[in-house]
Each structure stands twice: as C-alpha cells, then as structure tokens.
C-alpha cells in the first residue's frame, strides 16, 4: 500500500477488512466502519447539514468562515517518534496489512510502526502508530504508554525534516472485545494521533494481553 495515500485510514482498512479485524502485538481490533463513497475522507462522523442563510434577510446571521485546521503543509513519511514523558525515542517502521487482513506488527519489537494506509502525522485525520508493550517477557517500546496523561507531548518527525507535535488529550484502556473502533479510526477535521499497544493482564493460556491501551492526541505545533 502506497505511503502517499493520505487520509484514508477508515476506507483502507474497511475495504481490506470488511468482515475482519486489525491486530497488533497479539490483539484483535474491530475493523473501522466503511466510508460512504463520494463523501469527503475528512468529514466528521458527527457532521450535520447546516441550513443555508440568505444574505440580506432580516434574520440572516453574519457569515463567519471557519478557520482551517493547523496542519503540516508537506508531511513526510514518519521516520521518528519521541515521547519524552515516558522516555520513548524510536525510529518508525511502516506497517501494512497482512494477507489475512491483520495490521502487520513492527519487525523490530523495540520499534514502533506507522500504519501507512492512513494519514501521515500532521495531515488531517487520525494517524495511527502501534508498538509492542513487551516481547518474551521484556519491556518493549510502548511498555510505559499507559503512564501518559493529558498535556504530555508527542513529536513525530518526517523523512523530509518536518515535525508534528501533538498533545495528549486522553488515555483509554479497553477490553479487546470492546475496542472503540469509531473513536480510533473515524475521520477527523484536524490532524490527530493515536498510539496503540496491549495492556491489562497477560493471559498465559492464550499468550495474549486482555486489553488495549490507546493514547489520543491532537496537533499543537508544527516545524
């Protein structure tokens, strides 16, 4: 899947996984909802039609143009992720989809990976970066992900020198069978970021963790 296809996370996964799942580090995540053909890939799922007001009528409200979201004008392919609050400084792999429709995991378990079928960090939409929490009992790149709190900064560098800095808005933990698919993958009107790993108790019987830890963040600065 070409890394130049920006802003298609929901559509790309929905097409590939119509009845399937996305997986990272031994978890299964429900496929995002499909995007209706012909709609803007960046339209909010909560977007509502606004009645038109005719200019010049007594009850007409003044027209106020919405300010465009701050974006990285030419977001490069993400190459490095830093999260100072938890000591993360990692280069990024590019993650595609496996033959069975699962999201591929990073080859190097000490690195995180960006889902190349979705938006690049800094472009409009929810960019997704995933990583292992542990491997063979040893802490991995996202071992401390659940320690992040609102306001913590996350910076993603592009291979062209651009930087997108995000502020954490919330951190959630969900059972794998209750993954918040829409919240994670639904299109957004501005650049956002999701960091995903495993969490909860480790089930030795299945070899899987019970939960997912998901960090939500919004773009606050570009360079």
Kindly state whether residue 26 falls inside one of the protein's structural domains: yes
Given pLDDT bands bounded at 50, 70 and 90, which one contains residue 66?
low
Kindly state whether residue 3 falls inside one of the protein's structural domains: no
User: Residue 98 has what pLDDT?
Assistant: 79
Domain that includes residue 85, residue range:
9-37+72-222
Q: Tens digit of pLDDT for each residue in 128-143?
A: 999 999 998 899 999 9
SS3 label, residue 62:
coil
CATH code for position 130: 2.40.260.10
Q: Tens digit of pLDDT for each residue in 162-195?
A: 999 999 999 999 998 898 989 998 999 999 999 9
Kindly state whether residue 145 falls inside one of the protein's structural domains: yes
Total-model pTM: 0.73
Domain count of the fold of the chain: 1
Top pLDDT among 192 and 12 is at 192
Q: Does the pLDDT of residue 25 top 60, yes or no?
A: no
Kindly state whether residue 56 falls inside one of the protein's structural domains: no
Distance CA 14, CA 118 (A): 12
Distance CA 121, CA 72 (A): 8
CB 172, CB 145: distance < 8 Å: no
Q: Does the pLDDT of residue 29 top 70, yes or no?
A: no
Kindly state whether residue 42 falls inside one of the protein's structural domains: no
Strand residue runs (E) in the chain: 21-24, 27-30, 78-83, 88-95, 112-115, 125-130, 134-135, 138-139, 153-158, 163-175, 191-203, 208-222
User: Residue 59 has what pLDDT?
Assistant: 47
Kindly state whether residue 67 falls inside one of the protein's structural domains: no
Nearest to residue 11, comparing CAs of 50, 45, 37? 37
Nearest to residue 193, comparing CAs of 111, 88, 123, 102? 123
Kindly state whether residue 182 falls inside one of the protein's structural domains: yes
Kindly state whether residue 51 falls inside one of the protein's structural domains: no
Average model confidence (pLDDT) for the chain? 76
């Amino acid at each position: 899947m070409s890394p130049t296809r920006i802003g298609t996370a929901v559509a790309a996964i929905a097409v590939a996984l119509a009845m399937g799942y996305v997986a990272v580090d031994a978890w299964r995540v429900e496929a995002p909802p499909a995007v209706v053909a012909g709609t803007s890939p960046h339209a909010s799922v909560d977007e509502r039609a606004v009645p038109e007001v005719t200019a010049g009528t007594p009850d007409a409200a003044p027209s106020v143009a919405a300010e465009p979201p701050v974006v990285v004008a030419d977001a490069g392919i993400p190459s490095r992720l830093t999260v100072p609050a938890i000591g993360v400084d990692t280069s990024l792999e590019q993650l595609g989809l496996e033959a069975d429709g699962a999201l591929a995991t990073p080859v190097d378990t000490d690195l995180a990976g960006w889902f190349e079928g979705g938006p690049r960090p800094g472009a409009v939409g929810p960019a997704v970066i995933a990583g292992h929490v542990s491997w063979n009992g040893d802490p991995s790149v996202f071992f401390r992900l659940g320690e992040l709190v609102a306001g913590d900064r996350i910076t993603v560098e592009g291979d062209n020198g651009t930087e997108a800095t995000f502020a954490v808005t919330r951190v959630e933990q969900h059972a794998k069978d209750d993954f918040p698919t829409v919240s994670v993958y639904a299109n957004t009107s501005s650049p956002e970021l999701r960091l995903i790993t495993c969490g909860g108790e480790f089930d030795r019987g299945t070899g899987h963790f019970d939960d997912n830890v998901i960090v939500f963040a919004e773009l606050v600065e570009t360079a």
